[in-house]
A and B are shown apart, each in its own frame.
Chain A
Amino acid sequence: MKKWGRTVGTTVRKIKGYVIRDWMMSYLFLVPAFGFFLLFVAYPMVKGVYISFFDYSLRDFSFIGLDNYISLIKDDNFRKSMGNTLLLVLITVPIVIIFSLFISMNIYKKKEFARSFFRGVFYLPAVSSVVSITVVWGWIYHPNYGILNYLTSFLGMEPISWLGDTRTALLAIIVVLITTSVGQPIILYVASIGNIPTSYIEAAEIDRATPWQIFRKILWPMLMPTNLYIIVITTINTFQCFALIQLLTSGGPVYSTSTVMYGVYEQAFMLGHFGYASAMGVILAIVIGIISIIQFKYFGSDVEY
């Protein structure tokens, strides 16, 4: 039995005599999603933090307090992995931003067909399977039969073991990471740039502003919400880079491409050290959190146009 009515600004319905207001209905609709969130996100997270204080391996489960964290601080490989991860972020994120912004600036003015074509081209790696892309790059970098060495041989260069040399392996990973990361930012930038009123740019052009001035004084500030989103998401994705590393280098050579996420996988799933791996996950989450706060602080701004 339902009765519908309306009080001041609030829709009210009655179900079996109970008064249900709209805001209550809103929460009811959220219950399934929130349930999934609690079950598959919040619970594993809390459990992850919990077991980071235990010696949790295939056989043991005993409370050891902060021992996992203390061991991590002393672990040379973890420090190396953290350094590699931060280096990946520091190099990859700015390049992805600059590269995707540059491409977007060049394609947003083009006709719809060309715009769609370029968006599709650059977005393709983002929607392709990481495994497929990695296999292709594995062939490209192959030390004996890779196309990259074939091309560099025309320049008179000796074959390079791109993934097997500590000097080039991380660089090779960064290149793949960038190519797979620019797709989504390009889509977002093209959409955002298209939303900026052209009158601002036209006015600046009338005032003889240079393209660089237009970019710096008008476009960049007005793209700040998009910048923030892209920077945060790209940073988190780079911190969580795993499949690429596992398939291309397994963290080698000599840990030169090992990241914290790969270390988590190695410790948990290859060696069965779940407590230690959880502690690594917690530290990684804290680092990502701190960097995200800094990014929100420096790039967060409300823009209306």
Chain B
Amino acid sequence: MRAMKKGLMSIVGVALLGTQLVACGNTNTANSANEPSNNTDKSEPAATETAAKPAEITWWNFPSFQALDGEVGKYEKEIIAAFNEKNPEIKVNLEMITFEGGPEKLNVAIASNTAPDVIYDAPGRIIDWGKKDLLAPLNDMVTDEVKNDISEAFWKQSSVGDETFMYPINTAPFMMAVNKTVFEKIGALDLLPLDKEDRTWTFEEYKKALEAVKEKAPDVIPTGFFAKSQAGDQGTRAYLANLGVSRFLNEDNSAVAINTDNAAKALDWIVQATKDKLSVSGAASLAAADVNDLFLQGKLAFTLNYSAVLKAQNVSKKMVEFEDVLLPFPTLDGSEPKLEPYLGGMAVFNNGDEAKITASKKLIDFIANDPVWGKKNLIQTGGLSVRNSITGLYDDAEYKYAEYARKFTTDAPTIADGYADIRTFWFPELQRALTGGATGKEALDSFAAKANEAITKAKAAMK
């Protein structure tokens, strides 16, 4: 009997420990956070037209702007100070979050009814929140002039149905990059497509460039690949899709399209390239940041997850001096590449307080459209404007190319229903192929089956 009591006490004791981790949410919050969104008056006047009301809002920001004087958040504080000169009645509390821990922090905040009022982020998360009725629609902010100045593809990424949930601000196509200095040193610059205006190239040309690095610069790893975690998955998606001339999802995002024979062959080639030391070894245990770090240390000739924004952000992280040049992904047949767009913009959480929503919209309007700060902010992101009318922000060959490469932009799968779940299936399947557990085709088919099921479930849940 005593032993039984002891046992029961043990169970209770360990149960106390084991179940704490996930019990931090407020059960009422999910509902209460949602209810007000249904009450939102979509016919309210534009944020800028409403009378000034005192409000205190919280702005959570990923490091979307380059740090000023090496201090993260300093530039954002300058924005707020400038905003307050025009809107002294609105107090903005800034909280900087990181790309590593920020998403989890946001999930917990939303679930515990402590979400911020305004955020600068990308469609992957914002549209998911929009679909879950967590955000305030921004339709009243979108004037005809703005609507017509931004391409339909960006609006598609910023909206759920007719409701706009993200105010798009900056963009840049995701590409790959090459350490041009390495090719200069080995006398193989002619192997890169830099003499062509569009810099497009074929899979065969790319392989020749890799072979040259392997042969003439043995201390440098020709190219990279990564499959440890979700961050940077747009790089591996686009790499494989272009090498195999395949789309990642079909055009209406209702099913996976990457599991073609050509894409499977491309994945098999990546696995073989790893064995042949043309591609970094241990890709299954490397994250996108690890591979970019190798590139910034001058140890890698090509990196797969780059853009004009990342190029600007990486200037201070370079461990050795070299010239990094943007390149589109090579395609199997030399056809035009398809580049996923990076899109940054701002969203407002519907925390049930109209004054805060209105104040948040004013802040967004200031950041995006202020005659002085709008342009300044864009440059500080290192990105291009989503507005067709705003070009020539930078006097730099790489930016000019990034602007040019916008014509290769394809649909981003980030707005697909169930995207959050879809991306969790991607890396395990790449890992299966990389570790020899499956052929390229088996891995991609397995990914397609799981992802398609997630899409179907997500669509059903929305009805």
Contact = CB atoms under 8 A, between A and B. Distances in A.
Interface of A: 41-51, 54, 56-61, 141-145, 159, 161-166, 169, 236, 239-240, 248-250, 252-255, 261, 264-266, 268-272, 274, 277-278, 280-282, 284-286, 288-290, 292-293, 296-297, 300
Contacts of A254: 428, 431-432, 435, 437
17 contacts: A45-B15, A45-B23, A48-B19, A49-B15, A56-B30, A59-B132, A163-B284, A164-B285, A240-B18, A252-B428, A254-B432, A268-B107, A269-B104, A284-B18, A290-B11, A292-B13, A296-B7
B221 A144 contact: yes
B369 interface: no
Nearest to A270: B104
A106 B428 CA distance: 45
Given A162-B285, A266-B424, A285-B18, 6 more contacts: A51-B23, A51-B25, A252-B229, A253-B428, A271-B421, A278-B19
Interface of B: 3, 6-7, 10-25, 27, 30-31, 34, 103-104, 107-108, 110-111, 129, 132-134, 221, 227-229, 280-287, 294, 299, 420-421, 424, 427-428, 431-432, 434-435, 437
A46 B228 CA distance: 35
Given A58-B129, A253-B227, A272 B110 contact: yes
Contacts of B11: 285-286, 289-290, 292-293
A109 B24 CA distance: 48
B229 A250 contact: yes
A239 to B, nearest CB: 8
B23 A278 contact: yes
A253 B17 contact: no
Task: Identify which of A248, A255, A277, A292 gathers the most chain B CB atoms within 10 Å of its CB.
Answer: A292
Contacts of B10: 289, 292-293, 296
Contact of A164 (B15, B286, B420, B432): B286
B425 to A, nearest CB: 10
Contacts of B129: 58
A59 B19 contact: no
A131 B31 CA distance: 36
B27 A252 contact: no
B23 A252 contact: no
Given A59-B34, A252-B428, A292-B11, A161 B284 contact: yes
B212 to A, nearest CB: 20
Contact of A57 (B19, B22, B30, B108): B30
B219 to A, nearest CB: 11
Contacts of A255: 428
Contact of B27 (A41, A61, A145, A240): A61
Nearest to A271: B420
Contacts of A250: 228-229, 287
Given A163-B285, A285-B15, A293-B10, A270 B435 contact: no
A292 B282 CA distance: 38
B18 A281 contact: yes
A162 B281 CA distance: 11
Nearest to A42: B16
B276 to A, nearest CB: 13
Nearest to A242: B21
Nearest to B25: A274
Contact of B20 (A48, A50, A54): A48
Given A271-B421, A289-B10, A292-B11, A164 B283 contact: yes
A165 B283 CA distance: 10
B203 to A, nearest CB: 24
A55 B18 CA distance: 20
B198 to A, nearest CB: 33
